Structure 1
Amino acid sequence: MSIDLYSPFVPAGIALLALLCALPLGRFVPLPDSKGRATSIDGLRGLLALGVFVHHSSIWYVYARSGEWKAPASALYAQLGEAAVALFFMISAYLFYRQIASGVTDWTRLYVGRVLRMLPLYAICVVLLLLLVLIESDFHLVDPLFRFGVGVIQWFSFTVLGAPDINGVVGTRYIMAGVVWSLPYEWVWYSVLPLLAYFMRQRVRRGLLLLSALGLAYAAVRLSWVLMLPFVGGVAAYYATTRMAVVSFLRGKWGSILAASCMILSVACFDSARHPAAVVLWSVFFAAIACGNTLFGLLTLRVSAILGELSYGIYLLHGFVLFLAYKGLGAVVFADLSPASYWALTATLLLPLLIACLVSYRCIELPAMLSRRSVLEKIQVVSEVLIARWRILLRPERVD
């Protein structure tokens, strides 16, 4: 049986192989206590990251031959990436909207937690990106120093300020498979949470409302509102979880059938998961997961949970693995691979990718997450000192 570039069997094979690879790695991945957690969502994350990996792998095959980075010419492969990112947006929307809807929001804790979760590995990735850029340019400074410095700052801003080519390396973003485009959308969502809390009649400081206003202004100028629709889907999923009749239906067998049907319909009817109607279908799918549907038990497997813990690393690091494979084989050899040979190569990259993600999780991500309490305590001490000094400055001098 011949395998073409967009064979429907490849994603399933990659997912199965990843689950098998995760088994021996699982002993090194401490899983969080499932109490109070949306375990189906935890299991979903890893599969979504794998979808992005397969999506970008198919793009790389075409890019190596044509030099054009474009969406796959297959609805299935296009939506493996597009729907995965949309579902990541829905997950963020659901989890944080649920948190503020509870009425108890420690904004310092929330934002410090987000920074500690997202920044450490991302910063390491930017450093690695810059190193590869310098290697590509033979360690010669091609750009003027000022432009180079501005570009570095833009990349360290989670690309909120842009993701330019650095030092004359065309397609710098493709070293990371272009995944950085989604990060500004995440941060805009985090920025508007105080405004949503205000609409829920919660007390919110003016500074946080100003942050929300800045986030909305940035979104209006720089982002696509169509690509922000999945956040609405995540909020809708929260309200679905507050209706017991809906939860009872969506978490059962018929909910699994409905969720699977939504996936099939989206791929069958739309070339892109970004079509508004496709977003609705994927929102229904996610609502089922948020209500506890396990997709016939797949999402609550231990290996699914393991991949879920590694999902951020898979998302950020898989582009490097594909880029290094391209450079290691050489452009000519890489471009001459048949689709079957290419997918065989891609399969061999899974284990190194997962090992890299495990190392990043244990050495970078987990320590940063565990440091949140100590960081918050230090912030509290510093803020108390600053407030005390400010009060001293404002205290009127006594005139004897």
Structure 2
Amino acid sequence: MNPTDLWPALVALLLALGTTWVLSRRSPLPEARARYRSIDGLRGYLAFGVFLHHATLWQSYRVSGAWAYPPSAFYVNAGKGSVALFFMITAFLFFGRLLDARTRRIDWARLFLGRLMRLTPAYLLMLFLMLTLVAVLTRGRLQVETGTLLGSLKDWLLFTIPGRPDVNGLARTEILVAGVTWSLPYEWMFYAALPVLMLMLGGRPGVRPLMVPVVAGVLLLVWRPSLGNLMPFAVGIAAAFAARWRPLQHFAHTPLASALTLTSLVGGFALPMSAVSPLPQMLQAFAFVLIACGNDLFGGLSSRLSRHFGEPTYSVYLLHGLVLFVSFHWCVAWMTGVNAAQLSATQHWLVVWMMTPVLMTLSHCSHRYVEMPGLALTEPWLQRIRATAVWGASPQRP
């Protein structure tokens, strides 16, 4: 088996879908998100694409210690392209709220607190598990000065906006989570920019919401974003406008649109991606605009299974690096007595196949027992905040 063959990825996807089907048989889908069923279904495939991307990176890392892209356009794009599409989804959904604010109110306190309660619980779970591994790998001994340790913990608690430092002297600590936290500062900065974007649309977000981008501006002094990573947000904003154009909405629901979307996705993930070759990004952007307008790839994205597959997306994204690390660093030796560096490509994919149901089960549990309870705290916490009169008793008018 070649390390970059595509059919092992298909087997892993089928295992993930099968596990999801078993786990979701008695689990109802939330109807509140039914407006964007295609996007709900797309999320799961993107998160699993990032998992496949990092599973392939482990092919070389377990042998040589080099965390480097594999010689495969698909497996490279499964990571970079999937995250770009996640950025498009974020911009599409939340800029769309600003466009809708022309006819309805935006409750800024609920929006920002909801984002905090949506993203923080699973992140803290990931961070707790990562720090547990750090403690095990460093044998529970303090290997740096206390101030240095506390500084690194502070950076990780801030969603790595200041950076992703090593913890307790463990070299390349971020490998434990496959480095996935790099994308979270972009998400937070986009949320922080929403009041400014509303101003640009001619709305009036109010003074208090505008304090959020001011704080974000201070954080920009220590965070250096890549301009290339901002482009997907622009695509998502364009898609929010496009999705409100009825002729395009009608076209997006046709079989021809599904064929064009599928062709664009295949090209966008199969062609080599580079700064001097924007075609893959353009194809991905074109496909996303059609999906945002309602295209569901011949019903595949809006199917019940796909939407269940997309529910634990955030947990899959955060936790898969830990599963990969534990599997290759310890479990392979425990189960086979063979060092992970000695595995063949076939044996490598066997390990990935074995960990796939584990990852999906862990992610579904995290979604149900960590993410959702955390999100459910939004309303009671919002009432407490409003009782302090910090945000006022009513939403701001646009």
TM-score higher than 0.5 here?
Answer: yes
Cα distance change on mapping 1:211 and 1:370 into 2, 3 Å: closer
Aligned counterpart for 2:48 among listed residues 50, 69, 82: 50
Q: C-alpha separation between the residues in 2 aligned to 1:259 and 1:29?
A: 30
Q: Does 1:182 align with 2:167?
A: no
Deviations 1:173-193 (A, max 9, x none): 010011000000000100111
How large is the Cα RMSD of the aligned pairs?
Answer: 2.1
- Verify the 8 A CA contact 2:316 2:359 in the aligned structure 1: yes
Aligned counterpart for 1:346 among listed residues 352, 376, 392: 352
Mean alpha-carbon deviation: is it higher for 230-239 or for 218-227? 218-227
- Verify the 8 A CA contact 1:192 1:216 in the aligned structure 2: no
Equivalent residue, structure 1, for 2:367: 361
Equivalent residue, structure 2, for 1:222: 224
* Overall identity of the aligned pairs, in %: 35
Cα distance change on mapping 1:28 and 1:146 into 2, 3 Å: farther
Instruction: Tell me how far 1:243 sits from its aligned partner.
Output: 1.1
Cα distance change on mapping 1:28 and 1:316 into 2, 3 Å: farther
Equivalent residue, structure 1, for 2:291: 289
Q: C-alpha separation between the residues in 1 aligned to 2:16 and 2:56?
A: 17
Q: Which structure 2 residue ranges, 5 or more long, are not aligned?
A: 394-398
Scaled by the length of structure 2, the TM-score of the pair is: 0.91
Secondary structure, in 3 states, of the residue corresponding to 2:161? coil
Instruction: Tell me how far 1:36 sits from its aligned partner.
Output: 5.0
Equivalent residue, structure 2, for 1:238: 240
Aligned counterpart for 2:253 among listed residues 248, 251, 254: 251
Instruction: Tell me how far 1:99 sits from its aligned partner.
Output: 0.6
- Verify the 8 A CA contact 1:82 1:272 in the aligned structure 2: no
Deviations 1:224-281 (A, max 9, x none): 0101110011111111111111112222211111112222333444335995443222
Write the letter of the residue equivalent to 1:266: G
Q: Which structure 1 residue ranges, 5 or more long, are not aligned?
A: 389-400
Write the letter of the residue equivalent to 1:360: S
Cα distance change on mapping 1:217 and 1:263 into 2, 3 Å: farther
Cα distance change on mapping 1:387 and 1:189 into 2, 3 Å: closer
Q: Does 1:81 align with 2:82?
A: no
Write the letter of the residue equivalent to 2:3: L
Mean alpha-carbon deviation: is it higher for 13-22 or for 133-142? 13-22
Write the letter of the residue equivalent to 1:68: A
Q: C-alpha separation between the residues in 1 aligned to 2:175 and 2:314?
A: 18
Equivalent residue, structure 2, for 1:32: 30
Equivalent residue, structure 2, for 1:398: none
Write the letter of the residue equivalent to 2:135: L
Secondary structure, in 3 states, of the residue corresponding to 1:298? coil
Q: Does 1:201 align with 2:215?
A: no
Secondary structure, in 3 states, of the residue corresponding to 1:21? helix
Equivalent residue, structure 2, for 1:91: 89
Equivalent residue, structure 2, for 1:397: none
Secondary structure, in 3 states, of the residue corresponding to 1:300? coil
Deviations 1:153-177 (A, max 9, x none): 1001010111101111111001001
Q: C-alpha separation between the residues in 1 aligned to 2:25 and 2:381?
A: 28
Secondary structure, in 3 states, of the residue corresponding to 1:299? coil
Instruction: Tell me how far 1:358 sits from its aligned partner.
Output: 1.8
Q: C-alpha separation between the residues in 2 aligned to 1:72 and 1:216?
A: 36
Cα distance change on mapping 1:387 and 1:209 into 2, 3 Å: closer
- Verify the 8 A CA contact 1:262 1:281 in the aligned structure 2: yes
Equivalent residue, structure 2, for 1:14: 12
Deviations 1:181-230 (A, max 9, x none): 00000001001110011111211233433432553565585110101110
Q: C-alpha separation between the residues in 1 aligned to 2:275 and 2:83?
A: 10
- Verify the 8 A CA contact 1:233 1:280 in the aligned structure 2: no
Count residues in correspondence: 385
Write the letter of the residue equivalent to 1:180: T
- Verify the 8 A CA contact 2:273 2:280 in the aligned structure 1: no
Equivalent residue, structure 1, for 2:396: none
Secondary structure, in 3 states, of the residue corresponding to 1:92? helix
Write the letter of the residue equivalent to 1:379: I
Cα distance change on mapping 1:54 and 1:269 into 2, 3 Å: closer
Q: C-alpha separation between the residues in 1 aligned to 2:208 and 2:33?
A: 34
- Verify the 8 A CA contact 1:51 1:81 in the aligned structure 2: yes
Cα distance change on mapping 1:36 and 1:46 into 2, 3 Å: closer
Q: C-alpha separation between the residues in 2 aligned to 1:272 and 1:13?
A: 28
User: Which structure would you say has the larger Rg?
Assistant: 1
- Verify the 8 A CA contact 1:227 1:274 in the aligned structure 2: no
